[in-house]
Amino acid sequence: MPQHIDIAVNLLSSRLAADIDNIIHKAVEHHVSPLIVIGSDIAESDESAKLCQQYPLKLYSTAGVHPHQASSWDENSLDKLTQIANSKHVVAIGECGLDYNRDFSPRKDQRQAFEAQLALAATLNMPVLMHCRDAHDDFISILKRYRHKLPSAVLHCFTGTETELKECIALDLYIGITGWVCDERRGAELASLVHLIPNNRFVVETDSPYLLPRSMRPKPKSSKNLPQYLPYIVESIATLRNQPYEEFAAHCYANSIRLFNLGER
């Protein structure tokens, strides 16, 4: 069976935190391992890194401040993130970026926190895991100033347009695709674009517990998306790309290893 890496799991979400051990073991049973645990603020990033210590080789994590939490960025944030990022289990800075869809933090604060985290990733020579929603122009403008200093970078949960996709690929970004592509309503445009992503730029994710694939049959009793469902997403994308499942899965796995430098850990 092909192996998979779920590059974005919100494992400390209130919807998952009580069942972490079972979620990890179910994922392993479905050949989804390791999982990349997302840090969305300082506290969660610290907790994620500590959680990884309990599951060596099964969990890695990121350290960052999500745009929703950008207003919490202060003069101490950089030092705290740097300390967390020095953990051997932390494989990327993020989730960082811009979200102009909800504007939970002022846009000025979002841009400031995003740029500070890109600069930190460049200083530490670490990959970045990024978020962008309804903010493409500013996202690209800021990222262009740092991309050449970064070893690798991924835009997770991509849901943009063809033009936006091509601009991201031109910056040599990895493109993270979720079960959004399985939604016949909202995901139709994305489904039409996945064939444009080169084999060496594709990574896959559940963004668990969010974005349960609508097309799953039978439908899971719970609305929670879980890492164990990642093979379904991979198979769905492979079908859209007219590509053998095993071949596509192998590309995604190798890309994830390379993106997060897991082969050296």
Q: Give, for all 265 residues of the chain, the pLDDT tens digit.
A: 899 999 999 999 999 999 999 999 999 999 999 999 999 999 999 999 999 999 999 999 999 999 999 999 999 999 999 999 999 999 999 999 999 999 999 999 999 999 999 999 999 999 999 999 999 999 999 999 999 999 999 999 999 999 999 999 999 999 999 999 999 999 999 999 999 999 999 999 999 999 999 999 999 989 999 999 999 999 999 999 999 999 999 999 999 999 999 987 7
Distance set, CA 175 to CA 105, 118, 196, 198, 202 (Å): 25, 17, 11, 9, 5
Q: 14 is in which domain, residue-wise? A: 4-264
pLDDT at 265: 72
Q: Which CATH number covers residue 175?
A: 3.20.20.140
In whole angstroms, give the CA distance from residue 43 to residue 78. Answer: 13
Work out the burial of residue 185: count CB atoms within 10 Å of its CB; fewer than 13 is exposed, 13-18 middle, 19 or more buried.
exposed
How many domains does the chain contain in total?
1
Evaluate if pTM is beyond 0.95.
yes
Amino acid letter for position 59: L
pLDDT at 263: 87
pLDDT at 264: 75
Q: E strands, the chain, where?
A: 4-9, 32-37, 59-63, 90-99, 128-133, 153-155, 174-177, 202-204
Residue found by looking up tokens 């996709």 in the block: 165
